Every structure is written in C-alpha cells, then in structure tokens.
Amino acid sequence: MNTDKTLDDLFDKIKEIIGDSVSLTGIDYEGPDIVIYTSSPEIFAENENIIRNLARDLKKRVVIRPDRNALTDPESAIEKIKSIVPDDAEVKNFYFDTEKGEVTIEAYKPGLVIGKRAATLREISRIVGWSPKVVRVPPIESQIIKNTRDFLKSVSNDRSDFLKRVGHSIHREITSKEKWVRITFLGGCREVGRCAYLLSTPETKILIECGINVNSENNTYPFLNLPEITPLNDLDGVVITHAHLDHSGLVPLLYKYGYDGPIYLTYPTRDLMTLLQLDYIDVSAREGKEIPYNSAMVREALKHTIPINYGSVTDIAPDMHLTLHNAGHILGSASVHFHIGTGLCNVVFTGDMKYEKTLLFDPATVNFPRVEQLIIESTYGGSKDLQPSRRWAEKRLQGLVNEVTAKNGKVLIPTFAVGRSQEVMIVLENAIRNKNIEKLPIYLDGMIWEATAIHTAYPEYLNSNLRNMIFHDDLNPFLSDCFIRVDSASKRDEAMESGPGIILATSGMLNGGPILEYLRHLGQNDKNMLIFVGYQAEGTLGKRIQNGWKEIPLSSDGRTDVIKLNLNIQTVDGFSGHSDRQQLMEYIKNLNQNPKQIFVTHGEESKCIDFANSIYKRYKIEAIAPKNLETVRLL
C-alpha cells in the first residue's frame, strides 16, 4: 500500500460517511491533519457535526478547505466579515492565504470573533467561503509575535510543501513486525541543563528536548553524535516541552546539521523559544562566547514548528500519538504523553512542572488515560527540598518591600525573563491594588517586557482566576500603569535615580544582563535591598552573593571594578516554577494509574538518586536515576 492509495481509501471512506449531498473535490495531508477540499464549504459551516463525526470515525484531525471557486474576493470578504463580527471584537487586520483558502483575522478580543460554540466562525465560512482562523493581537505590542507571524506568512509556500511532506511521513505504512520501545538519555540526567531524550521504536525516532547548559563550560551540549540519533534526518520529529534554554536552546543546531523535520510544541512555547534563542545568540556574542548557530537557523527552526493545543491527540508517526498537557511551569509548558502502537506502551515526560496552582497557572495535569513509564524532573527532589507556601512567599515579599519603602530605598529583584518575572509582577500588582504596599513604580528591564507582552497574547494558557479577570472583569494585571518599561539609557537612569521603587531585571542568576548595572550603582547604599526569588546555581555570581560575598568583580568597557555590597540581601523562596519534594510525591500518588517504571532526571546527582530511592520505598514502583548515554528498553 502506498501513500497515495491510502489517501484514495480515506477519500472514499469520507464520501461514504457524509454521503452525496456534499461536493468533495480533493484530499491531502497537512502535517498531522487530513485536509478535505470542497466546493460547498457552507454545508460544513451549517452543520458542525459533520466535521466532528469525521474526526471521530477516522480517528484523525480533520480540516475543511474551500475550493478557490467557492471563495469571495478578499475585498468583499472583508466587508462581509465586518458586518458579521461585533465591533467590540476590535478586529485589527485580515490576511488571506489563497493556497489554503484561509483568512486570518487578527483581533484584540478573538472570543467575539469565534462566537458561542464557534457560531460566528461558521457564519463567516458560510457567507464568504474562506476558512476563518483567529489570532489575538497582544494588548502589549510584541515584536517577537509580529516578526514570527510576518515570517511565517512570508514562507507559507515552503511551509505548505513541508507540511505535506510531514503528513505523508506520518501516515506511511508500518513496515517493521518487531515490537519494542527504548529511551536513550542524551543529556539532563543527574544534572540540571542540556536536556535531551530519544524515544525509539522499530519504526520511529522522536527527540524530546534539545537543550543547552549555559552555566557550564564543559558539559554544555547534549550527546547528539551517538549512533542512536545520527544521522539527524532520520528523526521523525522533535518535541519541546517548554521554552527555557536548557530544554530548547540547541534546537536550531539540528537544522545546521541535516535535520529537516517538524518541531511539536505549544503556540506560546514557539514564540518564547524564538525570543530566548535570539537573546542567547546576542548575549553570547557580547560575552565573546562560542555561538553554535546563527539567527538564520533560528528562523529555519521556526519554519518547521507545528504548534498544537493542550489535549489535542496528534499523530506524529505511523505508530505514535502525541498529546500535550499543562505542566504549570511557565507559559505554554507541557507534559507530553506518547501513546505508542495500538495500546502497546504509554510514556509520559513531565518536563519541568509545578503541581500546585500558582498566581499564573493551574497545577500540572495528572489525568493521563494511561501511563506505563514516567520520566519526571527532580530539580527540588532532595529530601530537604521543601518550599514555603505561595501565600507565605507573597506576604514575605510584601513585607520586605514595605521595609525598604520606609527607608526611601530601592528593591532590586534579579529574575528570569520568562515565568518568574510575570509571577512576581502579579504579586506586586495585586499588593498595590489591595493597598498592601504603596503604589510604587515597578521598572522592567531586559527581556521581561517582551516576555510579558507574549503572556498577554495567550491568556487562555493562564489559570482560571486570571482568565476570569481578563475575559469577564476586563482587568488585565499585566497592563497596570505601575509597570514601566526600561527601553533607553534615560529610563534606566530614571529607575536608579528617582525615589523609592522596584526594579525587576535580568538575568536571574546575575551571570549577565542589566541587573549588573543596577548592582553597580545601587549596591553600595544600605537603604536598598537585593531580593532573590529564584534558584541560584553553583558557580554563578548570584549564588556567591547569596552565600555571603560582600565584594564582587563587575566588568565594563574592558575594565573590572570591585564593588562593595552594602545593600541588604534577602531570599524569598516559594516562587519557583518547579515542584518541591512533597509536590513531586503527591503528583505521582495522584496519577490516574501507577506507572510500572519511573525515571528520575533533571536534578543534581544526589537529588536524583535520593528521589528515585524514596519513590520505590513509598510506592513500591521501580524507580531509576539514569545516567547520560544510557539506553533503557521499556518493552
């Protein structure tokens, strides 16, 4: 059986399901989707059950595309769409893709364009023929999102060819009669950083994560030169759980060395990953470090992304289905569930995860239909790794801010641009709104503003409380006027020289970034305070200061000065995007099904081993702390 015959058989089956009342003119693959072409798109628009029944019977994701002769000309289509969509939706722009018969509608309030149970979308399709796709205009302008959307539009023809090629590969015939599943651990084992795991069957190879350890000079990259993974073009796909560089930082390098396949991730991860990779290139160049790829490779990776939503079961190979679930770690972070074969094996990679509702996200999902093998992170998996409650952390931060404000001092908070910054922003905005602290200017320096803009574009990925505030109460905390963007030297001077205030700046571990400039100018004043809210890795400047260093070397313009630190130094635990030991144990306990095996990764060696031993003692589940380069047969 060849792929074309498979399509012919599918086409016949579709016609059999929907009958002769609908005119079908063609069928094709588009990545994991089955695309059906029709000269009567209005019939599909009027009866939403047709597509639902097709997806159920075919067990495939189905997309309806109109024939060109069914399309209203774009100018008339815009006028008709405007007459259908409520003015309150605030439509900003339209983009027509004739190849796909698709109109992208950019709106500030996409929910009003979609309508209740997608009724407005169906009406648009019925009236103009075009298949409508809605995207949100970020309330804060995001240069990354704008550039990403513009770039993907510019390469739409290339992407169309790419998606067809991927679709044919996904739906190819299974040739091997053997049945086995293996994991090869390529990085991120008994260490934090450079995560990479290879999931293999006789038919398929999937790379999960492709990270980089920016804090290590010796163990920077995962082992991508092993026989198991080379040549790279034999990979069927790459899955990225979230955007942090230790999980996604080396993805562009794959395209430099021959990989030409898809990257599966969520929409926010796509945008944040691009942001962090470009920043990594920029920072590495400024610091004179080796740069493993250039911006062209970042764009090449972006061109190959296939974003999927939480809960959407997606074919990624003939014998493998992928589903992404909320991991509660950062925006768009996912735990990934692989269903292999026809019930042969189910493997879950947690990625970095938080099993607790935070001010930003709902807790990580535990409701997997089946899980035989679990690969779980252990950043805080040590026996003494117990974090205080979120409520305590909020109160503690508020108290420290009030203490500094009483002295007319400034608060410096070094923080990661993605995740921790937004969590702290929500805490501070909420405290100001509820008058728990004075209304102070909160300066955002580094990538924080851009990362926050991306958060505003995807409120559906935030927790239920924030979604209700944004969608129903028309209150978006990220848009508060207490936040001030530092985008010039004069703004930075204002942040340092004005009265009491709070400064959030990158980097979170003080290994570069604008936070060092603030420390240089404000570190000698005992009225000021430096507050750590995130993990400080061994060997970083942040860890040294946390351990008591009072004099630090800071370089600028080729000269190194020793700065004496007189400001108060505090640490507020409890804002981590990782689960602590107790939450990790509760996560395992509350899974729908006890796994047969658990592999503990992404933690210091002692913590991985201790956590694995504790899992076995408490739950009597086989638990292993694998080493890098090990391969384990699951079946």
Q: 627 by DSSP, 3-state: which? A: coil
H-helix or E-strand containing 564?
Answer: strand 559-564
What number of residues does the chain have? 635
User: Is 492:521 a contact under the CB 8 Å cutoff?
Assistant: no
503 membership: H or E segment, kind and range: strand 501-505
**How many CB atoms are closer than 10 A to CB 74?**
15
- Going by the annotation, the residues of the binding site for Zn(2+) are 242, 244, 246-247, 329, 352, 602
Q: How does strand 102-107 pair with strand 131-136? A: parallel
Residue 617: its H or E element: helix 605-619
Would you give the DSSP letter of residue 166?
Answer: H
| Structure tokens that stand for 592 in this block | 């729908």
User: 343-365 in b/e burial notation, b at 16+ Cβ within 10 A?
Assistant: ebbbbbbbbbbbbbebbbbbbbb
User: Which one, of 545, 477, 524, 533, lies nearest residue 503 by Cα?
Assistant: 533
H helix runs in 205-352, sequence order: 245-248, 251-256, 267-286, 295-303
Residue 489 CB contacts under 8 Å (≥ 6 apart), including other chains: none
Q: Are 525 and 408 within 8 A, CB to CB?
A: no
Q: Which residues are annotated as a binding site?
A: 242, 244, 246-247, 329, 352, 602
What does the CA dihedral 338, 343, 345, 346 come to, rounded to 10 degrees? 40
Q: How far is CA 575 from the centre of its chain?
A: 18
| Cα angle 603, 367, 628; round to 5 | 25
| 3-class secondary-structure state, position 216 | coil
Query: Is the CB of residue 346 less than 8 Å from the CB of residue 340?
Result: yes
Contact yes or no for 424/249 (Cβ under 8 A): no
In DSSP terms, which residues pair with 123 in a beta bridge? none
Six token digits for residue 226: 């092993």
Residue 39 gets the label, from left (phi > 0), alpha (psi -120 to 50) or beta, of alpha
DSSP 387: P
